[in-house]
Amino acid sequence: MFDSTFWFKAFELLASLSILVFVHELGHFMWARFFKVGVEKFYLFFDAYDFALVRWNKQGLHFFDWIHLPRLVNPSETEYGIGWVPLGGYCAIVGMVDETHNSEQADMDRPDAFVKQGKFAQFMIMVGGVLNNVILAVIIYIGMAWHWGKDVLEIENLPYGVEYSALAKEIGFQDGDMIVAFDGERVTDFNSIGNHLLLANDVTVRRSGGEVTFALPDTLGTHFLKEKDIMSFLSLRQPMVVADLLADGPAARAALQAGDSIVMVDSVLTPYFADVTSQLKLHAGDSVRIGYYRGDSLCVADVLLTSDGKLGIYSKSLIGPEHLTHIDFTLAEAIPAGLQQGWTMLYNYVRQFKLVFTKEGAKELGGFGSMGSIFPEKWIWKAFWGLTAFISVALAFMNILPIPALDGGHIMILIIEAIIRRPLSNKLKDRLQYIGFGFIVLLMVAVNANDIIKFFF
C-alpha cells in the first residue's frame, strides 16, 4: 500500500516543513530576545510526554532524554531541543498564554515576562513567525531566480495558438483565440494564465485581427478545483503527431508509426489535436478511415476504434525548448524578481482562499497527504525549493488568521486590549486558547480524514 514513492514524498514533506517550522519559531525567538523577553524552550518537533531526541542547555547535552520532573535551570536560560513528534515545533515564551502555557503556568510576574512588555514589543514577537515565513519565501524566490533563471512561454511564440474546452466556449472563447489581457492588464507568459483565470473579472483575446473582451464567471475557481488541471479548460493547439503506440492497439494494428501526423478522420479535415479527438468520438467502436502524413506522403488507413473512440496512441508535443524564452538574472535583478514572485504568490493565495468556502473547495481540503502528493517522485532541488517557498507563503497566511491559538488570534487579542485599554482576564484568555486549539485539532482531523477518504475511495 505504501511503496517507496510514498515514503520518499513523506521525507520531502518532512524536510520542507522542518525548515519552515524552524524559521517560523525562530521569528518569535529572535524578537523575544530583541526585547529581552524570556524564552523557556525552543524546540523543533514536539517533546510529548517530556521525551526528546536531543535537548541541551547550559547544564549540558542530552540524547534520548526522558525527564518526568521539572528541569532545574536558571530562569533566564533557554532549553533547546528536537522532539520526537514531527508535527511542528514551538517557542515557549515567558508570560505568554499560548499552546505551551495556560495563565497559571505562564509565570507572568517575572520582569522579563511577555505581559510586562509594551504593545509594540508584544505585536512584533507575535508577528515574528509570519514575517520570517514571508521573508524566507522571498529569499528562496530570489535564490531560484539567480541560480536557475526563468523560462517563459511567450504567448506570441505559440506556433499554433490555443484551443478551448466546451466550458470555455460557453463562456465566449473560440479555438485559436490568443489571450492578451486580464482586467485590462497585458499578459505575455502562457504559464501565468491559470492564476489569472481564477482571479480576473474579464479577459481580452485577439481574434481575426481584432481584440474582443468578455466577462469571466465566478464559477471558474470551482471548475479548476474539481478538474485540478488548466488543460481541462485550454491547451496549446498543435497537430496530432504519433509519439508511440499501444501494443496491439487500433493504430498499431493499422500499421501507423511514430512520427505520423493525423490530418483527416472520415473525410473531415482535422488539422489539430482537438479536431481529431472530437471526430473520433463520433465514430466510437466503429471502423473509420484515417488520413495521415508520413514524411511528405499522404497515406490512409482503416482503423477499428475502441468503444470510447480512442486510437491507442501517445501524442507528441511539438512545443519544445525553441519556443521558450530563457531569462537569466544577475543578483541585482533577482532581488526585485524574487520580491515580485513572493508578492504575487501571497496575493494569489489570499484571493483564492475564498474558494475554501465553496462545495468543491471543501471537498479538496487536505492535510499532510495532500501536501506530500505535490512533491515529485525523485529529488529535484528546483521543485523542492519552489514548493517550500509556496508552503511558506501559505503557512504565513494561515497563521495570521484571527483564530485563537494561532499568531493571528494573539494579535486579535492584543488589538482588543489596545481598544478597550485594559488586558482581558486570564480566565478568558485560557478559554479562547482552548477553543482555538480545539478548533485547530478538529480541523486537522477533518482534513487528514479527507485525505484518507480520497486515498481509498
User: Per residue in 265-283, pLDDT tens?
Assistant: 998 999 998 889 889 999 9
- For the stretch 393-422, pLDDT in tens is 999 999 999 988 889 998 999 899 889 988
Looking at every residue in the chain, the average pLDDT score rounds to 86
Q: Rounded to whole angstroms, how far apart are CA atoms 267 and 275?
A: 12
- Cα four-point dihedral sign 102, 107, 108, 114: negative
Evaluate whether 283 touches 304 at the Cβ level (below 8 Å).
no
In the prediction, which pLDDT does 104 show?
A: 64
- d(CA 410, CA 429) in angstroms, rounded, equals 9
Report the DSSP beta bridge partners of residue 268: 265
Q: In residues, how long is the chain?
A: 457
| pLDDT tens figures, 44-93 | 988 888 888 998 887 778 888 776 545 545 566 888 999 988 878 889 89
At residue 339, the pLDDT reads 95
- Contact (Cβ atoms closer than 8 angstroms) between residue 79 and residue 41: yes
pLDDT confidence of residue 69: 46
For 245-258, how does the pLDDT look when each residue is reduced to its tens digit (9 = 90+)?
A: 998 899 999 999 99
Say how far apart CA 99 and CA 115 lie, in whole Å. 16
For residues 283 and 323, the model is more confident at 283
DSSP, residue by residue, 75-138: TT--EEEEESEEEEEEEEETT--SSS--TTTS-TTSTT-GGGS-HHHHHHHHHHHHHHHHHHHH
Lowest mean pLDDT across 61-70, 116-125, 311-320: 61-70
Least confident window among 208-212, 387-391, 452-456: 452-456
| Greater pLDDT, 341 or 74 | 341
Q: Is the pLDDT of residue 293 over 60?
A: yes
Unique residue bearing C-alpha cell 511542528: 88
Highest mean pLDDT among 64-73, 95-104, 232-241: 232-241
Cell of 157: 511564440
pLDDT at 336: 96
Mean pLDDT of 83-105: 79
- Tell me the helix, strand and coil percentages in the chain, rounded to 5: 45, 20, 30
Q: Which strand (E) or helix (H) includes residue 213?
A: strand 210-215
pLDDT band at 148 (very low <50, low <70, confident <90, very high): very high
Amino acid 2: pLDDT? 62
pTM of the model: 0.81
Task: Please give the share of the chain, as a percent, with pLDDT higher than 70.
Answer: 91
* pLDDT(388) > 70: yes
Considering only residues 402 and 227, tell me which one the structure prediction assigns the higher pLDDT: 402
**Cα–Cα distance for residue pair 171/161, rounded to 1 Å:** 18
Going by C-alpha positions, the residue among 28, 68, 73, 35 that lies closest to residue 51 is 68
Pairwise CA distance, residues 206 & 173, whole Å:
10
Mean pLDDT for 445-451 is 79
β-bridge mates for residue 214, sequence order: 203
- Domains of the chain, earliest start first: 117-149+328-457 (no CATH), 155-236+321-325 (2.30.42), 240-315 (2.30.42.10)
Q: Is the pLDDT of residue 426 over 90?
A: no
Cα 82 to chain center, whole Å?
27
* Interatomic CA distance for residues 88 and 66, integer angstroms: 19
Residues 6+ apart with CB under 8 A from 406: 398, 399, 400, 436, 440
Tell which wins on pLDDT, 224 or 196: 196
* Dihedral sign (CA 108, 112, 117, 121): negative
Asked whether the CA dihedral 52, 54, 58, 60 is positive or negative, the reply is: positive
pLDDT band at 436 (very low <50, low <70, confident <90, very high): confident
Helices then strands, each counted (H, E), the chain: 13, 19
The residue assigned the cell 463520433 is 282
Please give the pLDDT value at position 105.
Answer: 62
**Number of C-beta neighbours around residue 312 at 10 A:** 18
Distance between CA atoms of residues 184 and 182, nearest Å: 5
